[in-house]
Structures are given as structure tokens and as C-alpha cells.
Structure 1
Amino acid sequence: MTFTTETLETPDGIKLRFGVQTPENAGQHILILQGRGEYIERYQETADELAARGFGCVTFDFRGHGGSSRETDDPVMGYIHDVAHYIADTGHVIDHVKQAHGIECPCVLTHSTGGLVAMAMMLDQPGLWENAVMVAPFFGLGGHDWLSLAAQFVADSMCRYGFDKQYLPGQAKLSPLAEFEPDNILTSDATRYARNVAILKEHPNLVVGGVSAGWLDACFKAQASVSDRIEQMKSGQWLLPPITMVLAGNDQVVSNQVTEDLFGGVPSVTITEIPEARHEILQERDLYRDKFWQAFDAHIARCQTA
């Protein structure tokens, strides 16, 4: 079984490519919110593993990614002006699959940037999802604090002077088509890495390269907003549904510390870490992925017995 892909058009003229997989045994569907640079085909293995658990799934390529509309003259630039666009697009997909296919997704599964989008939506729309699983959510940039501060300064400065659609320093030559390097920061699995490269070589229109100033600046602003609202919520009423956050122990892309500082001790949030796993846990070796699925199954069991 594979995803059935279609396209919808947003009110602002963006074409979003989405995919639906509905196995015969599907009791419900899960919405998958992807990370930066991802595309539907990357989640076929995950969709099949969800199907084995009785779940169908829906996912889509964020604007500027995969088979969805690009917003710069450079078709491989990773760009967004405002994370609010990702949020609006997610709402359009949710509404469309409900109206056109009769599909609702009470659970959301996110990776990286998708976690930032989902958290912003849950804070705005309590009850939107019954529960969530977040893989390596992007609430802060990985690396030393000074590196994050420097990146914020550079991205903000470039955007202020009209260079939001320019690559950040050192990003212009980055490509997901590069040969596998054992010490890369995304995955230690050479086979899955090669599989994804093969997909992109067959479908070069799906390629997203380096990070733009606009994309990173938009994410920093969204992270600041989410952080402020979570801190405010700590002194009031918690409105978040049950959430399991699965962190990669060797994550050099996002900050596990920021996630733990924000959500540690939050009643509805369970945080678990997979030691030595790299950022793209769902593209990792089986010894790490198996631990993710253990955490996922435990999450589902908790939600079903709650």
C-alpha cells in the first residue's frame, strides 16, 4: 500500500500536495506534520508501520517543500515568511480531507518543525487534537547558546534589510543529494539515507536545500511566541492534551534542553529520550526506531485507557 496523493489550493493561491493512506483495518487516521526539507514519500515506511497498528494517516508537503508550491525564484531554497502560513495550510488540509474524504485525525504525529507548528495550533485551538506524539520537536536551535544567539542576530538582520530570500551563510551549497557521511547530524542509517536520495534523484522537484534567513527568522519568532505562552500557562490552567515528546539523545539540530526546560513537569507531557539517536529518528537505524515505536505504543495505550 502507498499514499494516494492529491493537490488542494489555498485561498492565497498555494498548491499543497497531500497524501492519504487508509488500510482496510484503519480504526482512525493520524495526521503527520513533517519537518523542514521533507516530503510525503519519506513517510511511506512510517505509514506502513502505522497501518500495522491499525492506523491510516494523512500528511502533506509544507509550502516551499516537496511537491507543494515554492515561494522563491530558487526552487530548492528552504523558505517561509511566517510560520502562520504553515499553521493556516495545516488547517486547510484538515478541513479538506474531512470534507472531501470524510477523514478526521484525532492524533497528530510531528517531526521537528512540525512540532512547532502543532504546538502553536494546540495553544490557539484547545481540543484540536485528542493527543500528540512529537519526534525531536523544534522549540530551540541545537548547539551552544552563543550559536543560537548568533543565528538569531544574523537571520533577523538579513530580514530587516530585505535579504529574507537569501541563504544563511554556509547554507547555499547544502544538498540532500550529497553522499552519506558517517558523522552527519541527521541519521546513522546509510541504507535509509540512500533510499531518500534515490527518491529525490527520481523526483528532483522534491529537493529542498539550505536554510534561508526568512525561514529561520520565522521559526525563531514562532518559538518565542510558543515559549511565552507556555510560561504563562504554567501559572494558570493547562489546556494541552496528552503529548509524548521523543527526543534524540545525539540531536545537534534542535535543542533538547529547551524542550525539557519548557515542558518538563507539565502534567500532560511525557518526555522520553533515545540515547545516541540523531535528529531524524524515523530515518534512523532500527535499534533507535524500535525504541521510538515502543514510546509510541505506550503513548497510544495510555490514551486509550485514560
Structure 2
Amino acid sequence: MTLPDPAPFHADVADGPPGGAAHWLRTADGLRLRVTHWRPDDARGTVLLFPGRTEYAEKYGPVAETLGRDGWAVMAIDWRGQGLSDRILDDPLGGHVLQFTDYQIDVAAMLGAARRLGLPRPWHLLAHSMGGAIGLRALDGGLPVDSATFSAPMWGIRLAAGIRPFAWSLSWAARHLRLDHHYAPGTSGAPYPDADRFAANMLTHDPDRFAWMTAQVERHPELALGGPSLRWLNEALRDGRRLAMLPSPRLPCLTFLGGQDMIVDPDPIRQRMAHWPGGRLIEHPRSRHEPMMECPPIRDAVFDAIRAHLESTGAH
């Protein structure tokens, strides 16, 4: 079995364990994607990492470092339209997707690469934000993992009650008028995070981790992404409704939610986790949207819980 072609990997900004490698994949619909993996010696299994919107593999170098110390390999993907994977629009900073189910094509390509690279079993899912929406649908489709961990899963977008009808109608109209490639209201092509916006940022309270994320896209601007398109917004709203209809699989599941998260809707998370067989929800009142990138006390608690969750499901 031939291995995927090598792809660029910016180890200088990843702060991950040694030996990180990236590969190009070709999806069933013809797009070129990048996956990155870190594999410690004698790895006991593999964590399949589904990033959020705007993200890329290098952002998860510290996660791979932490999990690698416990013997877990990590594979992360750059979804279509972001990171070093093929961008959908002529404007490379516009976050866009034709339909959210297209991300399942990316998942299939990622799984194929994991098999070709011989990444050790068992496999476990770790998904953040938009990756949580992709991950829940993938689980419903039979994703071959032994457990799931979600960080602020985007099972719904947080919008004020008065804004939600406007978002639905505007994104629907733009879609049918073929204007859906334009940025959603209040967003632009400005990359996020930005060094001048820490005080108002919605990701983390940790200034050092925020500065580190900002430095990544400043040093390698090809990783950056701006705001979502109206099409992405419409698809995200539609996908939230569809996900609510899916059953929760009988799979050990751990989910984190920040009490100060202003990006995802907490209600679908609480409702689903209250009825997930074998599921557990941990809420950190002082966390913003990214518990794994928060200040050390929160971050350490999150990884202690992830470590215990992975241990409880065991390794083959």
C-alpha cells in the first residue's frame, strides 16, 4: 500500500512533539487536503483530531505533545477551505463550504490515510467546535472509534433571539440569489485571532496562548482564515437542526463546555449530554470557547479528564 504524498508542516510554530509529519490527500470529489500526524514510539492507539473552523494542524501541536506523553498518536486534518487544504473561494480568507455533509468526504479521506499510514488502534475521536458537528455526524455514520471527546461542540450556533431569524432569512436569501460567497454580517477577511484583539477575544483568557496562536498566522499567513461566508452560515444553521434529530451513539463520551463561551449554543450540548448513554458533561464556568487553550489551571484539568477518559476505554 502506497503512502500519501508528503506535505508541508510548520514545525517551527507547532510546539508539538518531534517527528510530526504531514501528507496530502485527494478526496472523492477531487480536493486536496492535508493531514498531519505525530506518532510516539510504541503508541498505544491514535486520537483522530477534528479541528474547528479557521483551524489547522499546527494549532494542535501542544495537544499532540500532551497526549503523546501518555503514548497516544494524534492525527489532525485541515478541513476543506482552511489550513493548507484547498480553499473553496477565489478569496482565500473566506470561510466557505457548499454543504456541511461535504466534510464527511474529508473524514473518509482522513480515515483512508490513517489506515495507509498504519496508525495504531484503537482510534478515539477528539473534536472541537465545528469539528464537533462533523464528528457527531461521522459517529452516526459509523466512525470506527472506541470513544469520543468533544470540546465546545458546535451542535448549534449561539445567536441572540432577535438575531436568529435575521440570520436565517439573510443567509437563505443570499443562497438563492447566488450571493452566498459574501462574508456573513459583522465579519470580514481579517484573520482571527489578531494580536490587537485579545481583550475582546472569545477564545481564551490566556494571553500567552492567544499570542502564540496569533504568531502562528503572522509567521505563516497561508494558514489564516477570515470570517465565514453566508453559505457557511446557512449550512451551519441547517446542520444544527439536522444534528438535533440524530441519536447519541452508545459510545463513551466526554464533553467540555465553557461557561463564558459566546460562539456555540450551550442548550443543544446540555440537552444531548443529559441523555447520552455513558456520556459526561464537564462545564468550566471561567472558560471561554477553547478549554484546551485556556489558562493552565483549566487546561490542566481538561487534559486530566481526557487522560482518564482515554484510560477508562483502554487500549487493545
TM-score > 0.5 by shorter chain:
yes
Shift in Å at residue 6 of structure 1?
1.3
When you count helix as a share of all residues, which structure comes out higher? 1
- Provide structure 1 residue ranges, at least 5 long, that are not aligned to the other structure: 231-237
TM-score, scaled relative to structure 2: 0.89
Change (3 A) 1:276 1:124: same
2:299 maps to 1:282: no
Distance in 2 of aligned mates of 1:64 and 1:101: 27
Distance in 1 of aligned mates of 2:122 and 2:101: 21
- Provide structure 2 residue ranges, at least 5 long, that are not aligned to the other structure: 1-17
AA at the equivalent of 1:53: D
1:259 maps to which of 265, 269, 275: 269
Q: Aligned residue pairs: how many?
A: 297
2:97 maps to 1:109: no
Distance in 1 of aligned mates of 2:271 and 2:306: 22
Partner of 1:221: 238
1:152 maps to which of 154, 159, 168: 168
Contact kept, 8 Å, 1:242 with 1:303, in 2: the verdict is yes
TM-score, scaled relative to structure 1: 0.91
Partner of 1:28: 45
Shift in Å at residue 128 of structure 1?
2.2
Shift in Å at residue 96 of structure 1?
1.9
Q: Deviations over 1:197-219 (max 9, x none)?
A: 21112211111001111112112
Partner of 2:191: 175
Percent of aligned positions that are identical: 26
Distance in 1 of aligned mates of 2:98 and 2:131: 16
Cα RMSD after superposing both structures:
1.8
Change (3 A) 1:128 1:139: same
Shift in Å at residue 143 of structure 1?
4.1
Q: Deviations over 1:33-84 (max 9, x none)?
A: 0000000100000000000111011011000000000010100111111111
Shift in Å at residue 137 of structure 1?
0.3
AA at the equivalent of 1:128: P
Distance in 1 of aligned mates of 2:114 and 2:48: 10
Distance in 1 of aligned mates of 2:313 and 2:180: 42
1:64 maps to which of 78, 81, 87: 81
Distance in 1 of aligned mates of 2:122 and 2:164: 34
